[in-house]
């Protein structure tokens, strides 16, 4: 597998662009299209929030009932959520408009929205944006699409990877936007992955679900889960690889590449959390069950106290063991070891003598690894998060203004 330039338009047969239709007040791009020249198998992973945005609901329903799609329209600046029946109608109208222009079935167009909740879309602007996007999309337009889906993101997040399956080149491209909170109500995590791989709908779905569990579902910025979070994958089969229909080596090669693409995007999302200055990886080993490993891991990754300490370069491992203690995981406090960037700071649940200067030096880096060994079993988990800075509060205190 090798990383290549580009994003969602790196695989064969994809067109994309991003335009400014006027949803964002500052004239920035706010509407993207990603389109496959051939109808593509699709799969998606959607928010677990019981409240769901209108655009997300329509897309979730279409992915579930059809499993094939030609294009997706994504707008930023407005979540199209919690606005009543108009929100459902607007989502349908956006896809109908795009379908008409693309000359395909309305069911074959998906839609995603991210931004403020509870404010109806100005549909005249959005529909003009759809027209402009369809008429200007191009095979090199992936980057513009990424720019158009960003909200509080500070950097674009794109990647493409090339693999060889039985002598044939297969490409996977992806883009994502966060950012503040990974699962914010308005920032929202949205990612679109494209591939020209020839793979069955069923295995595409399985690969996406399994990979998401290890990547997008292992990042946390502030523990809030958006009503619009989604990860979608399109596979248009234009590569010449023999169709992947079994969980064989070809599937594993595809899976590994997909995992790398999604892991890259996930870490980018965590690192670009609102106000973040550092990427934090949390590893938990030696847990009794996978559930215990997950509980301990996510408790550390969510703790505002851990995240503020890391922001202040403070090796306050007391907060880490505390987070493990209240996580609900089955543990023996007297067996817990904790390291920060490989420097052991706690052994058997108690302080060890360590060089404060050395730990501080580690904590000043951009990437921090917190590892906890529970010494209570052989299950592991890992997650990514970011530190919590004063800017987080500033950004989120005035988001709508």
**227 touches a copy of itself (CB under 8 A):** yes
**280 touches a copy of itself (CB under 8 A):** no
Select the residue interacting with a copy of itself from 248, 326, 358, 364 (CB under 8 A).
326
What's the rounded Cα separation, in Å, for the pair 48 and 228? 10
Select the residue interacting with a copy of itself from 39, 82, 104, 123 (CB under 8 A).
82
Q: Within 10 Å of residue 179's Cβ, how many Cβ atoms?
A: 29
Least distance in angstroms from the C-beta of 225 to a copy of itself: 4
Active site residue 215: no
**161 touches a copy of itself (CB under 8 A):** no
**316 touches a copy of itself (CB under 8 A):** yes
Instruction: Select 146 or 153, whichever has its Cβ closest to a copy of itself.
Output: 153
**218 touches a copy of itself (CB under 8 A):** no
| Alpha-carbon distances of 380 from 212, 291, 371, rounded to whole Å | 17, 9, 11
Residues 371-390 that bind a copy of itself (CB under 8 A): 388-390
Least distance in angstroms from the C-beta of 390 to a copy of itself: 4
Select the residue interacting with a copy of itself from 5, 38, 61, 84 (CB under 8 A).
84
Per the CB < 8 A criterion, the answer to whether 386 and 219 are in contact is no
**89 touches a copy of itself (CB under 8 A):** no
**49 touches a copy of itself (CB under 8 A):** yes
**282 touches a copy of itself (CB under 8 A):** no
**212 touches a copy of itself (CB under 8 A):** no
**189 touches a copy of itself (CB under 8 A):** no
**346 touches a copy of itself (CB under 8 A):** yes
**370 touches a copy of itself (CB under 8 A):** no
**302 touches a copy of itself (CB under 8 A):** yes
Catalytic residue among 9, 47, 188, 195: 188
Dihedral angle sign, alpha carbons of residues 241, 246, 251, 255? positive
Instruction: Select 110 or 331, whichever has its Cβ closest to a copy of itself.
Output: 331
What's the rounded Cα separation, in Å, for the pair 346 and 339? 7
Select the residue interacting with a copy of itself from 324, 340, 372, 383 (CB under 8 A).
324
**22 touches a copy of itself (CB under 8 A):** no
What's the rounded Cα separation, in Å, for the pair 365 and 313? 9
Q: What is the β-pairing status of strands 14-19 and 31-46?
A: antiparallel
**285 touches a copy of itself (CB under 8 A):** no
Count of residues in contact with a copy of itself, rule CB under 8 A = 69
Least distance in angstroms from the C-beta of 351 to a copy of itself: 4
**210 touches a copy of itself (CB under 8 A):** no
Of 16-24, 178-186, 200-208, 245-253: span binding a copy of itself (CB under 8 A): 178-186
Instruction: Select 106 or 349, whichever has its Cβ closest to a copy of itself.
Output: 349
**343 touches a copy of itself (CB under 8 A):** no
394 backbone dihedrals φ, ψ, rounded to 5°: -65, -50
In the complex, which residues of this chain contact a copy of itself (CB under 8 A)? Answer: 48-52, 79, 81-84, 87, 116-120, 181, 183-186, 222-227, 302-305, 308-309, 311-312, 314, 316-319, 321-326, 329, 331, 333, 336, 346, 348-351, 388-401
Active site residues: 188
């Amino acid at each position: 597998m090798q990383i290549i330039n580009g994003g969602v338009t790196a695989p064969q047969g994809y067109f994309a662009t991003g335009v400014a239709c006027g949803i964002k007040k500052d004239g920035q791009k706010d509407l993207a299209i990603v389109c496959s020249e051939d109808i593509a198998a699709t799969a998606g992973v959607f928010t677990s929030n019981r409240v769901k945005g209108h655009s997300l609901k329509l897309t979730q329903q279409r992915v579930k009932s059809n499993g094939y799609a030609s294009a997706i329209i994504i707008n930023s600046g407005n979540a199209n959520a919690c606005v009543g029946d108009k929100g459902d109608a607007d989502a349908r109208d956006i896809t109908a408009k795009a379908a008409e222009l693309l000359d395909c079935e309305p069911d074959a167009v998906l839609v995603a929205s991210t931004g403020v909740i509870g404010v109806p879309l100005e549909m005249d602007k959005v529909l003009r944006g759809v027209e402009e996007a369809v008429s200007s999309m191009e095979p090199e337009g992936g980057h513009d699409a990424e720019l158009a889906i960003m909200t509080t993101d500070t950097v674009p997040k794109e990647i493409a990877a090339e693999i060889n399956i039985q002598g044939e080149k297969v490409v996977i491209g992806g883009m994502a936007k966060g950012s503040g909170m990974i699962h914010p109500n308005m920032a929202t995590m949205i990612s679109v992955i494209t591939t020209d791989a020839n793979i069955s709908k069923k295995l595409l779905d399985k690969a996406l679900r399994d990979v998401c569990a290890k990547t997008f579902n292992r990042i946390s910025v502030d523990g809030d889960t958006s009503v619009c979070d989604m990860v979608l994958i399109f596979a248009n089969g234009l590569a010449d690889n023999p169709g992947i229909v079994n969980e064989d080596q070809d599937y594993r090669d595809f899976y590994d590449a997909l995992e790398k693409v999604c892991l890259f995007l996930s870490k980018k999302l965590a690192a670009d959390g609102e106000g973040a200055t550092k990427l934090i990886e949390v590893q938990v080993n030696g847990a009794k069950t996978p559930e215990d490993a997950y509980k301990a891991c996510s408790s550390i990754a969510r703790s505002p106290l851990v995240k503020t300490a890391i922001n202040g370069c403070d090796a306050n491992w007391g907060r880490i063991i505390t987070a493990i203690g209240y996580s609900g995981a089955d543990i023996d406090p007297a067996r817990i070891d904790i390291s920060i960037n490989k420097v052991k700071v706690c052994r058997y649940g108690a302080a060890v003598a360590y060089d404060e200067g050395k730990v501080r030096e580690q904590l000043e880096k951009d990437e921090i690894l917190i590892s906890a060994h529970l010494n209570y079993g052989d299950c592991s988990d890992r997650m990514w998060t970011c530190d919590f800075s004063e800017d987080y509060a500033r950004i989120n205190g005035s988001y709508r203004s």
